[in-house]
């Protein structure tokens, strides 16, 4: 099952998700949209930016609910203390649900940092792999940099291994701000802060009714700063001139595209989120990065007062990366063919505006060939197509359409050309008079109803002549039928009156009543 899911019912094809997807892993085709798992790096940008909430991610609340009431272990990400106003009460909430141990993932980060330091000293230039999006970006799109990734498990996976080694094979639940963590494996259930909040609300639990409890040791010394900018470097303690920080997928892409390891050792702290994990996709957004950072610092100060527990971690943390990039061989002639089909035969028509979601018209053409996009996603293509269709509708209209500018006729459609084969010098004033007086206009043997509007862009008047000749003929025919019917009935009335006069003595007053009735009938018919 894909991690990032699409709700086609709510999708309005605005392409905002595609425009913001850094690797263009979203397909729009045949009226359907879906995320292409083989290209997706699970950054969840599409989930965050979709105005219709048509993108979401796989939730694991039910899996967590099944664990409740039984013993399980919890690993809480360092950003846990930035998300919750009263994080130590949430620790108590987790304990009440069956958590045997609630421990900081920062302990795993501390172990990982020691490995980073060792690899950096041995190998030179190294890219951190604590962020799963960084790894997926390299594996699926930039395999050339894989040899420079730190081949160490992430802090979450490391901590899960540590917990299971220390406390047995109990299920491990990780709680953090990252959607991509769900694809890393090893951990039994991965919940985002959003999911834990939803669970607490569904269960109608009130955290304020719980006492505060601190996470269990052993404790890390420096790794609690992992989720903020430069937090990894702070933990590893590299020299200032030997490290750089790269945050945001766009910046990572630029780094990977131009990556050329120098002879000098560079420790690269890489993160998909600007500002670090405290700005992850599933963490609260109502607090500033400064406020979240200060909460992390406050927690670190409070925990530093506790006696630090010593721990030994003999774990196998080696990690293997695999190139997963899908290569496509596409003929240049076919690309040109699609560009021509989109009305971009001329280089000047290739605006590369990015409205469709792709950075260039050429990228869009390739996506069309691969079945990921539709030609109609191009705004300029649609406008040109609409103009052509509109012109055809106007040209083939059964109504006469005449455009007038500065007192001269500048356009006539086919119907108008057939109508005005003879010279009609007085036509323009007659058109205006007919429209403003609301009277039909007769040209030769035809009668027209005139409509009028103005084209501001062209500064021209447009007259639409609707042929009502047949309707007028039908009205005249109906009038003749009515008149003939009245005549026939009058003849019948006269004949009846003669009969009545002959038998007047027999009918008496009935005759007068019949005459009145026929008179009224005649009046009614005439009206």
Residues 231-269: tens digit of each pLDDT: 999 999 888 788 999 999 999 999 999 988 766 789 999
Query: Six-digit token pair at 190?
Result: 């991965």
- Count H helices, E strands: the chain? 20, 16
Alpha-carbon separation of residue 303 from 79, 104, 108, 207, 221 (angstroms): 14, 11, 16, 21, 9
- Cα(319)–Cα(183) distance, integer angstroms: 15
To which H or E segment does residue 176 belong?
strand 172-176
Residue range 48-58: mean pLDDT, rounded: 94
pLDDT score recorded for residue 62: 96
What confidence score (pLDDT) does residue 109 get?
96
User: 35, 6 in Cβ contact below 8 A?
Assistant: yes
Q: How confident is the model at residue 475, as a pLDDT?
A: 79
Rounded to whole angstroms, the Cα distance separating 438 from 141 reads 68
Regarding predicted confidence, which is higher, 126 or 326? 126
**Span 458-501, pLDDT tens digits:** 778 888 888 888 887 787 788 888 888 888 888 888 887 777 67
Residues 209-229 pLDDT 10s? 999 999 998 999 899 999 999
pLDDT confidence band for 505 (50 / 70 / 90): low
40: nearest Cα among 127, 185, 128, 141: 141
Q: What is the pLDDT of residue 403?
A: 84
What was the pLDDT predicted at 98?
Answer: 96
Most confident of the following: 4-8, 87-91, 344-348, 398-402: 87-91
Which residue intervals of 142-222 are DSSP H helices? 155-167, 193-202
Distance CA 261, CA 319 (A): 21
Residue 282 predicted with pLDDT over 70: yes
Query: 245 and 269 in contact (C-beta within 8 Å)?
Result: yes
Q: For residues 475 and 221, give the distance between their C-alpha atoms in angstroms, rounded to a whole number.
A: 97
Percent pLDDT > 90 in the chain is: 51
- Give the model's pLDDT for residue 242: 87
pLDDT at 352 (0 to 100):
82
Work out the pLDDT band at 113, boundaries 50, 70, 90.
very high
Buried b (16+ CB within 10 A) or exposed e, 360-377: ebbbbbbbbbeebbbbeb
Per-residue HEC secondary structure of 389-430 comes to HHHHHHHCCCCEEEEEECCEEEEECHHHHHHCCCCCCCHHHH
| Cβ 292 vs Cβ 81: under 8 Å | no
Distance (Å, whole) CA 340 – CA 471 = 47
**Alpha-carbon separation of residue 471 from 397, 448, 468, 478 (angstroms):** 19, 10, 5, 11
Lowest mean pLDDT among 133-137, 390-394, 439-443: 390-394
**Cα–Cα distance between 216 and 94 in angstroms, integer?**
13
pLDDT-derived band at 523 (thresholds 50, 70, 90) equals confident
Mean pLDDT of all residues in 186-196:
96
Any idea what the Cα angle at residue 246 is, between residues 104 and 77, rounded to 5°? 10
Using CA atoms, how far apart are residues 82 and 98, in angstroms rounded to an integer? 24
Tell me the β-bridge partners of 464. 401, 451
Mean pLDDT value across the chain: 88
pTM for the structure as a whole: 0.74
**How does pLDDT run across 147-170, given as a tens digit for each residue?**
999 999 999 999 999 999 999 889
Beta-carbon contacts of 451 under 8 Å, excluding residues fewer than 6 positions away, are 435, 463, 464, 465, 466
Helix, strand and coil content of the chain, in percent to the nearest 5, comes to 45, 15, 35
Average pLDDT over residues 283-299: 96
C-alpha to C-alpha distance for 147 and 144, rounded to whole angstroms: 7
Q: Give the Cα separation of 384 and 343 in Å (integer).
A: 8
Listed in sequence order, the DSSP H helices in 182-241 are 193-202, 231-236
The Cα–Cα gap between 470 and 473 comes to 5
pLDDT digits (tens, 9 = 90+) for 361-413: 988 889 889 888 888 787 777 666 766 667 777 777 888 888 888 888 888 88
How many other CB atoms are found less than 10 A from the CB of residue 342? 24
């Amino acid at each position: 099952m894909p991690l990032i899911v699409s709700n086609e019912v709510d999708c309005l094809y605005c392409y905002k998700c595609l425009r913001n997807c850094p690797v263009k892993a979203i397909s729009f085709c045949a009226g359907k949209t879906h995320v292409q798992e083989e290209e997706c790096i699970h950054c969840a940008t599409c989930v965050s930016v979709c105005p219709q909430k048509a993108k979401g991610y796989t939730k694991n609340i039910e899996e967590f609910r099944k664990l409740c009431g039984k013993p399980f272990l919890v690993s809480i990400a360092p950003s846990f203390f930035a998300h919750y106003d009263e994080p130590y009460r949430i620790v108590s909430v987790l304990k009440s649900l069956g958590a045997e141990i609630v421990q900081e993932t920062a302990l795993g980060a501390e172990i990982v940092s020691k490995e980073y330091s060792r690899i950096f000293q041995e190998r030179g230039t190294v890219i951190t792999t604590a962020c799963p999006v960084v790894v997926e970006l390299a594996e699926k799109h930039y395999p050339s940099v894989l040899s420079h990734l730190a081949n160490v498990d992430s802090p979450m996976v490391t901590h899960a291994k540590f917990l299971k080694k220390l406390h047995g094979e109990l299920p491990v639940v990780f709680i953090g701000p990252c959607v991509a963590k769900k694809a890393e494996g090893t951990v039994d259930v991965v919940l985002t802060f959003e999911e834990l909040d939803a669970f607490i609300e569904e269960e109608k639990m009130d955290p304020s009714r719980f006492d505060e409890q601190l996470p269990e040791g052993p404790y890390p010394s420096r790794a609690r700063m992992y989720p903020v900018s430069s937090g990894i470097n702070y933990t590893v303690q590299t020299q200032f001139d030997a490290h750089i920080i790269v945050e945001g997928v766009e910046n990572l892409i630029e780094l990977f595209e131009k990556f050329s390891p120098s002879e000098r050792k560079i420790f690269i702290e890489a993160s998909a989120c600007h500002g670090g994990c405290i700005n992850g996709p599933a963490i609260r957004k109502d607090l500033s990065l400064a406020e979240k950072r200060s909460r992390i610092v406050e927690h670190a100060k409070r925990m530093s007062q506790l006696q630090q527990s010593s721990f030994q971690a003999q774990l196998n943390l080696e990690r293997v990366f695999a190139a997963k990039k899908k290569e496509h061989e596409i003929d240049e002639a076919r690309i040109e063919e699609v560009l021509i089909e989109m009305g971009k035969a001329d280089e000047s028509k290739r605006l590369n505006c990015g409205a469709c979601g792709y950075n260039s018209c050429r990228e869009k053409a390739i996506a069309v060939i691969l079945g990921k996009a539709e030609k109609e996603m191009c705004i300029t293509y649609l406008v040109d197509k609409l103009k052509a269709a509109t012109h055809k509708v106007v040209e083939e209209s059964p109504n006469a359409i005449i455009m007038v500018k500065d007192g001269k006729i500048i356009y006539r459609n086919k119907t108008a050309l057939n109508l005005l084969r003879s010279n009609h010098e007085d036509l323009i004033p007659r058109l205006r008079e007919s429209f403003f007086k609301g009277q039909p206009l007769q040209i030769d043997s035809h009668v027209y109803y005139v409509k009028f509007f103005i084209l501001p862009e062209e500064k021209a008047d447009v007259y639409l002549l609707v042929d009502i000749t047949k309707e007028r003929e039908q009205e005249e025919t109906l009038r003749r039928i009515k008149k003939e019917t009245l005549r026939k009935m009058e003849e019948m009335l006269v004949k009846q009156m003669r009969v009545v006069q002959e038998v007047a003595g027999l009918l008496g007053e009935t005759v007068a009543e019949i005459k009145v009735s026929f008179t009224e009938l005649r009046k009614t018919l005439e009206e």
